[in-house]
Structures are given as structure tokens and as C-alpha cells.
Chains A and B, each alone.
Chain A
Amino acid sequence: MNPVDIGRWQAALASYGNTFSCLAPGSRIGLVAEAALGDAGRAGSSMLIWYATNQGLRVETGSFPGFEQTDVDILMVADDPALACMNDSLATDVLATVRQLIRDGQILFFARKTRSVLDDAGYEDLLEQLGFAFMGACR
């Protein structure tokens, strides 16, 4: 993943206070570039992390340790055009852009915990906002 402007991401996500306020402290959502997924999630790629704390949502970067080792609850994988698209919408409505990109298949959305565990951790509204209804089963 190319270097990201943490400050802009922080400001963008702060505008969705209600959506993230339900998240249990310690909840983590990761965003990596598609290229990081070669060979089952190659370790060492950069990952943007949305991290719920008692003080609110904090955006930070870290290393993507691969599918097996990563401890984020939700992992989003975006191709380069999708990353560019998100970057462009940081000043407007980035979650709406993410939702559209998920629906278009440009962001692949992995849940590393079961639905009930995610709901208990306060993810219900966020999943809805990200377009969970569009994903799989009963098709």
C-alpha cells in the first residue's frame, strides 16, 4: 500500500461518529492493497488500521502479517483504482465510496469473526453502512 495520509483518514472517519461509537474498544478494521494478498497474504505489506479506543476511532498504519496472523476483525482488500478512489473521497463521503466499491467488487471484504461475535462487538451499524446486505448467500 502506498504511503497514506493518516491525518486525512482520521478526519474523514471522525465525521462518522455515530457509526463507530458502538464499536467495542480494541475492535480493528484493516485495509490492505490487493497486491499484499499474493501467496496467501504475504507478510510485510503495509496495512491501514481503524482502531476503536475508549477515546474514539484512531487511524494508524501497521504491517500486514498475512491472513493467518492478522488480528483485525474485518479486513478490506482493495485494488489500486479502489485505493485511489477512496483517497479522492476522503474529503466527502468515504464510507459511501467504500460501500460502492464493495458492491462493485473492487474491495474484497473479509470477516475474521462470526456475525454474532461482530454484532456483540458493535459492528452491526458499520456492517450495514458498508453494504453487508450485498454480500453473498441466498442469491
Chain B
Amino acid sequence: MTRPGEQKLKHLFQPGKIGKFATRNKIKYGACCVSNYNTRDGFITDRELARTKVIAATGCGIITNQGAYPDPLGEGKSYFRQIALFDDKFLPQFETIAGYIHEAGGIAIQQILHAGRYGGIDLGYCVQPSVVPQTLPHFRPPREITKDQIRETVKQHAEAAKRAVRAGFDGTEVTSFMGYLLANFNSKFTNRRTDEYGGSIENRGRFMRELIDAIKQATPDNPLSVRLNGAELMDRWGGNTEDECLELMQQAVNCGVDMISVTVGWQEAPDSSIGRDIPPGHWNYLAARAKKLFPNTLIAFGNKLPDPPMADDCIAKGEFDFWEVCRPLLADPELVHKAADDRLHEVRRCVGSLNCLSRLFRDLPYTCTMNPALGHEVEPEYQVTKAAVKKEIMVIGAGPAGMECAITAAKRGHSVTVYEKSDRIGGALVHYANNDLARPEDLMSVVRHYEVMAKKHGVQVKLNTEANAKFMRSVLHKYDVAIVASGAGVDREALRGVPGAERVVDPMDVASGKVKAGKRIVVIGGGKIGLTLSESLKRQGAEVTVVEREKRIGGDLTPAFKWRHSQWIETLKIPTYTSSRVGEITAQGVKVLDDKGKETFIEADTVIATSPRKANQDVLHEFEWMIDELHVCGDAVAPRGLDQAIAEGYRLGCRI
């Protein structure tokens, strides 16, 4: 029976075909992220298997398993805990994964990933067509790959493909995304060879053609997908233009590849490709161009295309054949099912925080801001199971930590009431989102999600209700458990030594509009709150100066957003005083002292203190002897941010 959403999104949910295999819909789970959950020597772990079971159940017609490196030396290995496929000893776990995918009704594709320029992570060097040094010092110094090594590498890819098919996979995929070996050969930026593998675009594409031929010969009955850049975003550094990218796709088509997955950008590209500052649909034109040129080859696409209705529309217009989706499914593995059931309003959206990528480049397993269970599927503590005893739970604070905890606990059968002193849920996130320079609607989607899910799971939310000791005494007989999720605020105690500190304004009062800031503003603290507010106030026309005690601004930002804020602060011409502290605040302005004692006076009519912050724990101590169980989560433990708020709220909700 057709589900209601399948009728609405009929192009997306129509059956498809790749090679000889029928797919139940036009959705491909993209292997866009390596999990780093596996052993250092390439074996798939139980953690990975549990995660893959979730991926298999996403409902996608095609599931691409994450990239495995094909060579025993590890020159193709880009991530410390990447999986390997250079030997039969790895096969049992691949067989298990192929089994999961087939059991769930999907077509299983195994990606083979030789990272080239980004490889050799354990070796101290990497191989690429020519010696072009790294622009990102995270990666290893390069060596030029010899012709013998090229032949061996092609052979290793073909053997890995054969192995994948023997493990039960229906097809394979090779990838240039995002600047891996295949891309290194294709691109003028990294391929400066003078032999038959370099120079003209025909020569640069030779490695790719040999790779495709070898894999097609090794696995003639199984489809092959090739991920190719529609845009490298490296052209201003001498890389390929978009037209050259299409020419290379033409070569792949001529070799009889079954699918081209169009991708965008290299790791080292100077421009953003998938961050929150790129609007959804921005890159769709690249897939449309490819589809127009190659009407008889399947085109898959999904970069910065998070919404099923947009994907459905693109397929209807013939812009591509398969919606390739990964990150939105990290955030909500139920996305496809919710779309099929016409429950898109319940989708937990990827907010583009790029926590996943930021962690990978710190050699950590990937996690997701929005999906606290990601990577913990194997751990019972992260499962939402029916509560052994139904409890009456009160949650104090309707920010992300409180709401996450409340909804998770309610899903388990508890009766939950949330008390919030303001007039809406979302806590500080609402105000932070409204001042965000990237895409406020992304962060606001978190708040909307909580509104929808609280209603769905019967969480009572009592707004405009402050939970103080007096209030607690009036309700404590009703509850078994109290959760304090009251967030964090300015640490006024820490500012007491500063003459005039009583003049400082709370950033949330300014962000919410409760306090109107003047025209000349000093913001104390160059962390994410201080920078976000400064950028917003500057855009509204104020003169803003940031004063930061540390050597640099943005110390609490993830790498993905550190450069964005640095850029915004520079573009907006916001002066920053680092290694500096506030010496005195007067009606005229702020006296700032740097670490060498140099004094500067900045005229200001408003001084906003975003730092130091402290956890709001006053009620915690008052409630200690009032209730059976008392817990605390989120910024009320220690001021941090959204990732930790959601993760802790969820874990606590699973545990109570």
C-alpha cells in the first residue's frame, strides 16, 4: 500500500533501477562521511555494525557503505579508523553489512576510497600525481606516484571491487569527493605530470578511465558509480573549471559507468560548499547540467539539498535521477520514513553545524549535534526503551537540554511537565538563532522540532512559570523527579572587581530585544555568544568593539565556525582587543588593559558582558532536600553549547 507521503512525493518514491537491480525509490544513501568507529588496522567494529544497521533501515533505495581503502600499505587511508578492503580477512563484517542492507530492502553499494592527497595518514607521506604541497597542514607531505604504482593502484581498486561483490554487495563506487586520488588525477591543480597521465584533460582523465575499465572488467555484472566533482571550487588556484569537470564526466560516461554522483568542492577549497551559509538548492544547477548532457546515465546528487520536496521537484524536472543524501540522515535516520508517511513536520533537520566534519579532522569519531544517539547505537544507555517504572517528572527550563530530556523521557512512558519562565520554548537558542549571520531558520528548526515533538508525546509545557523554592514547595508532592536545565548566564560575581561593573548588560536581554543597546557598544568576550551578538548589532548599524581576555577570539567555536566568524568580524570591520581585559566601566565608555598593561579607552554607551558565564544552579541547591531524584543537564552543569545540551538531555532522558 502506498503511504500518504509517497503519493505527494511521487517522483522521489517511484521505483528506480541501477544496472540490473531495481530500487524501491530514487533515494541513495551517500557515503559522505567516514565514521572513524573502526579499528586502527581497518576492521569493522561492533559499533560500526550497529550504526550500519540503522543506516540500512533508513528506507533508501540504494545504500552506499562508507569508503574503504584498497591498499595494504595504507597510502589510500585518510582517517585513522577508516575501514579497509585490501584483503579477504575483512570480508565477514562486509557480508554482515550487505546482509543488513538487503534485509531492509536496499541495494548495497560499497565505496572504494583512495584518499590520494589526503591519504597516508599513518605513513607520514601521501601519494598524488605530482608533488604539490598541502595547503592544509593536517595532511601528509606528498610523493609523486610512479607509473608502476598507478598500475598497482588500479589493480587494487579492481580487487577491492571484486571482494565487495563477493561479500554480497550489488555494486561499487569510486570517489573523487572531496579531493581524493581520483580528483587529484583529474585536476589541473594537483596533476602537473608531463607523461600520458598529465597535461591535457584527456591525459588527466586516463587514470579514471583505467579505473573504470578495470572495475567493470572485474565485476561485469555489477553497477559502478563514480563520484565526480561538478565543481572543485579550486579553479582560482589553478584547478578545473566547471566545464572541465563536465568533460571529465563525459569520459566516465564513455567508459560505460552506470551512475555519476555529482559532488561539490575539495577539503581545501577556499569556499564553503555545505555549511549553514550556503542556501539549500544552491548547487542543484551542477546536477542539472550533467543530466542535460548525459541523459542516458544515472545522475545522483544531494550536496546542500536537505529537503525531500525539493529533491522530488528536481527529479520531476529531470535535473537528476537519484537524491543522494547523507548528512540529513545523520541528523534524522527516520527522514525518509517521515517523508513517506507525510510527517515531514516531525523531521529533525541537519542544522549544518558541521560537527561531523570538524571531529573527523581532529581524528575523532563523527557525531551529530542533532542526533545524540549517532555513533552510540551499540550502547544500551543510548536506547529509548520503555521505562521500568512510570515516573512523574518536572523539567525546569525549556531550552534544548530540557526539551530533549523531556521528550526522550516522555517517549519512554514517563509523564513530563516542563516549567519555563519565559513565554516560549527554546531558551537562549531562540535569541542566538535570531542573531545568527548564517541561516537563522536552521537553528530555529530545532525549536520548532521540540514544539512539534513535545505535543506529539504529550509533554506539558507551562510557560511564564518560574521554578523557585516557593513554587517548588507548592508542587513537589506531585513529582518523583526534577531535572534542572536552567542554562547559564553572565557571571556577575566575577565582574565585581571591575569598577562600574553594575553597568553591564546581559547579552540575552539585548538579543531578545528586552534591552535596547545604544549606538556605541563594547562586548566583553569574543566567544560564540559575543561574536554572534557583535555581528548582529554591527549589521544593525551600531559601532561595536570586542574585548577578549584570551589571545584569540572564537576559542569556544568548532573549526567549521571559527573561520566563518573570523571572516564576518573582519568583513564587518569590528575591532577586537585580544589578550585584554576591562579595567573600568563608566558612563562614557570602557577602559581596556592589554597583557602588557597598555591602556585604551573605548567610548561606549552600552557594555554587554558575554563572558565570563556561569551555570544557573541556584535552584539545584534549594531543591536538594525537596524531591526524591534531582538531576541537572546542559549549560546548567557548565556553560558550553548546543551539542552538549542535546547530548546530555537525551542521555538523561534515556536513563531516568
Among the listed A40, A41, A136, which residue makes an inter-chain contact with B268, where contact means beta carbons less than 8 Å apart?
A136
Looking at the complex, which one of B194, B268, B558, B570 makes contact with A135 (CB distance below 8 Å)?
B268
Q: Is the CB of A39 within 8 A of B192?
A: yes
The digit string for B425-452, where 1 denotes a CB below 8 A from any CB of A, is 0000000000000000000000000000
Known contacts A39-B192, A40-B130, A105-B237; A137/B271 CB under 8 A: no
Min C-beta distance of B179 to chain A, whole Å: 9
Q: How far is the CA of A105 from the CA of B273 in the complex (A)?
A: 16
| Bound CA span A133–B562, Å | 7
A112 CA to B136 CA, complexed, in Å: 9
**Minimum distance in angstroms from B372 CB to a CB of chain A:** 20
The smallest C-beta distance from B233 to any residue of chain A, in angstroms, reads: 8
Is A111 among interface residues, defined by CB-CB distance under 8 A?
yes
Contacts of B552 in A (CB 8 A): 128
**A139-B269, A139-B275 are contacts. A113–B131 as well, Cβ < 8 Å?**
no
From the candidates A105, A110, A133, name the one contacting B134 in the complex (CB within 8 A). A110
Q: CA A103 – CA B567 in complex, angstroms? A: 9
B361 on the interface (CB 8 Å rule)? yes
Judged by a CB distance under 8 angstroms, whether B138 is at the interface is yes
Binary contact readout B183-206 vs A (1 if CB under 8 angstroms, 0 otherwise): 000000000101000000000000
Given contacts A40-B192, A103-B567, A111-B136, contact A135 B270 (CB under 8 A): yes
Q: Does B558 lie within 8 Å of A138, measured CB to CB? A: yes
Chain A 95-125 interface 0/1 with B at a Cβ cutoff of 8 Å (1 = within): 0000000010100111111110110000000
Main secondary structure of the interface of A (DSSP, over half): mixed
In contact, A136 and B133 (Cβ under 8 angstroms)? no
Bound CA span A118–B135, Å: 13
CB of B560 within 8 A of CB of A139, answer yes
B137 interface residue per 8 A CB criterion? yes
Does B357 have its Cβ within 8 Å of any Cβ on chain A? Answer: yes
Quote the shortest CB–CB distance from B506 to chain A (angstroms): 29
Q: Are B560 and A135 in contact (CB under 8 A)?
A: no
Interface string of A35-49 (1 = CB under 8 A from B): 001011100000000
Bitwise, B117-139 to A at CB < 8 A (1) or not (0) is 00000000000001111111111
Task: Tell me the nearest residue of chain B to A133, going by C-beta.
Answer: B563
A128-B552, A139-B273 are known contacts. Are A134 and B563 too (CB-CB below 8 A)?
Answer: yes
Residue of A37, A113, A114, A136 near B135 (CB, 8 A) is A136
- Given contacts A39-B192, A67-B131, whether A112 and B268 have CB atoms under 8 Å apart is no
* Interface flag for B609 (CB, 8 Å): no
The residues of A that contact B558 with a CB separation of less than 8 Å are 138
Q: Which residues from 26 to 51 on chain B have a C-beta closer than 8 Å to any C-beta of chain A?
A: none
| Cα separation A108 to B274 with both chains bound (whole Å) | 22
Instruction: Establish whether residues B135 and A135, one from each chain, have CB atoms under 8 Å apart when the complex forms.
Output: yes
Which residues of B lie under 8 Å from residue A37 when comparing CB positions? 238
The answer to whether A134 and B354 touch across the interface, beta carbons within 8 angstroms, is no
**For the complex, what is the distance from the CA of A40 to the CA of B143, rounded to whole Å?**
13
Q: Which residue of A lies closest to B191 (CB)?
A: A40
Q: Does the CB pair A139–B132 fall under 8 Å? A: no
In whole Å, how far is A95's beta carbon from the nearest beta carbon of chain B? 14
Q: Which residue of A67, A128, A133 is within 8 Å of B132 (Cβ)?
A: A67
CB neighbours of B562 from chain A (8 A): 133
Q: State whether A113 touches B141 (Cβ < 8 A).
A: yes
- Interface centre among B131, B135, B140, B237, by most chain A C-beta atoms within 10 angstroms, is B135
Residues of A within 8 A of B135 (CB): 108-111, 135-136
Bound form: Cα–Cα A41–B238 in Å? 13
C-alpha spacing A138/B560, complex, angstroms: 5
Q: Counting CB contacts under 8 A, is B644 at the interface?
A: no
- Cβ–Cβ contact A137 & B134, under 8 A: no
CA distance A136 to B272 in the complex (A): 9
Q: A133 vs B558: C-alpha distance in the bound complex, in angstroms?
A: 11
**A36 CA to B487 CA, complexed, in Å:** 56
Q: Does A75 contact B (CB under 8 A)?
A: yes
Is B236 close to A, CB under 8 A?
yes
- Can you give 18 A-B contacts (C-beta < 8 A)? A40-B192, A75-B133, A103-B270, A103-B567, A103-B570, A110-B135, A111-B137, A112-B134, A114-B140, A133-B562, A134-B563, A134-B567, A136-B136, A138-B357, A138-B558, A139-B267, A139-B273, A139-B560
Please give me the 9 A-B residue pairs with the lowest Cβ-Cβ distance, nearest first.
Answer: A111-B137, A136-B268, A138-B560, A110-B133, A115-B137, A40-B192, A133-B563, A105-B236, A138-B357
Excluding A105-B237, A133-B566, A138-B361, 5 further A-B contacts by CB distance (< 8 Å) are A67-B130, A68-B144, A105-B270, A133-B554, A137-B268
